[in-house]
Chains A and B, each alone.
Chain A
Amino acid sequence: MAKIAFDLLRFVVCDDNAHMRRILRTMLRAFGSREIYEAEEGASGLEAVEAYQPDILITDIKMPIFDGIELTRMIRNPDGFSQAYLPIIVLSAYSEKSQVIAARDAGANDFMCKPVSAATLYGRIQNIIESPRPYIRTSTYFGPDRRRQESSFSGEDRRVEDSKQFIAVPD
């Protein structure tokens, strides 16, 4: 654990609501960040990511042209986009589980519900910087490992024994 030098971090904030962008910018500036670029919809968000090469993208879901989920999917293209590993925090007024899962499956690193507090925003950024997850590439997914943590438990690990019966170990 350590403190974060926000003055060394560059952000792109993508939200179609100017007031929300102002609030996020105010929080990030208060944390110490000096490089905060804004975009007001998915297409200009993608352009901003390409142009400014941010360290972290914070994006809303519901936006015109293409939304935050589509923006995340377009970025998570390791064969066609240079910023495919960019940490992405999806921010939305949608709190339904389906939207959280959609953001996760698109490759978002984290999700935040509006209204957002400074402590929550700081915590999400801290988590991304201090505890980055490995990336997973399959035929249908590229992005951070969707298993967030390995939970410890007491007792016999039956999954290991059971899995030996069903899963062929690759060469």
Chain B
Amino acid sequence: MNQPENTQVSWPEYRSIEVENALGAKALRPGNPHDALAAATKKADTAIEQLSAQFPAWMQGESSRLNKIRVEMVKEGYTAERLDQLFTCAHDIKGQAATYGYPIAGVIGKLLADLIDKTPVGVQIPLPVIDQHVDTIRAIVRQNLKGDGNAQTSNIIEGLRVLNHTTLKRLHASTPAVAAAPAK
């Protein structure tokens, strides 16, 4: 959109530019906005519902991808690149699992992504800690555990939270503080 500019206020370092609402002129039509919203979202929800038959397979795919990276880490080495791949996968699960109908897997994905994000650069997360997250997500998918979970899943989530908290505390405590630069 190459918008014509109509500068309203101008200071040497600040300009407020009122742009013509070309998009509004192009796409707004008379009608009841509430009816339009209701009709559009109903149609979209129906379309997503039809697509949802594929969600278990998609979730299975994400779970398998996560496991593949974990296995590679164990067999071929814990590297920054693999850790980044693991983060990306956990982050995807965090964002998408709820849409697929597996919100608990999304919560575990968030816990794993946060754990990786908050670990000091260059410090290795103990593999058993990673395993617990990956195995929990795999179990949720394997058992087709949809919905908001139950008391057992709440306990598992709380257990992982505590595990991550103590792990991060230990990893940060064992990381040597960056030495102050010598005065010039």
Residues of A within 8 A of B (CB): 1-6, 8-9, 17, 19-20, 22-23, 26-27, 29-32, 53, 55-56, 62, 82-83, 85-87, 92-94, 114-119, 121-123, 126, 128-130, 132, 134-139, 145, 170
A20 adjacent to B95 (CB under 8 Å): yes
Question: Given A85-B1, A134-B19, A145-B16, A92 and B95 touching (CB < 8 A)?
Answer: yes
Q: A19-B58, A23-B48 are in contact. Are A115 and B23 (CB under 8 A)?
A: no
Secondary structure class of chain B's binding surface, majority of residues: helix
Other-chain residue from B33, B51, B92 in contact with A1 (beta carbon distance below 8 A): B33
Q: How far is the CB of B39 from chain A (nearest CB, A)?
A: 9
- Counting contact residues on chain B (CB < 8 A from A), the size range is 35 or more
**Cα of A82 to Cα of B3 in the assembled complex, Å:** 9
Evaluate contact between B91 and A5: CB separation under 8 angstroms.
no
Interface, chain B (partner A; CB < 8 A): 1-3, 8, 11-19, 21, 23-24, 26-33, 35-37, 40-41, 43-48, 51, 58, 61, 88, 91-92, 94-99, 106, 110, 113
In the bound complex, what is the Cα–Cα distance between A136 and B40 (angstroms)?
Answer: 33
Identify B17's interface contact among A6, A117, A137, CB under 8 A.
A137
Contact A115 B44 (CB under 8 A): no
B91 touches A27 (CB 8 A): no
Q: Is the CB of B21 within 8 A of A26?
A: no
A23 to B101 CA separation, bound complex (whole angstroms): 13
Contact B88 A55 (CB under 8 A): no
Question: 8 A-B pairs, CB-CB below 8 angstroms?
Answer: A2-B28, A3-B31, A20-B95, A23-B51, A29-B47, A92-B95, A129-B28, A132-B21
Among the listed A55, A82, A126, which residue makes an inter-chain contact with B33, where contact means beta carbons less than 8 Å apart?
A126
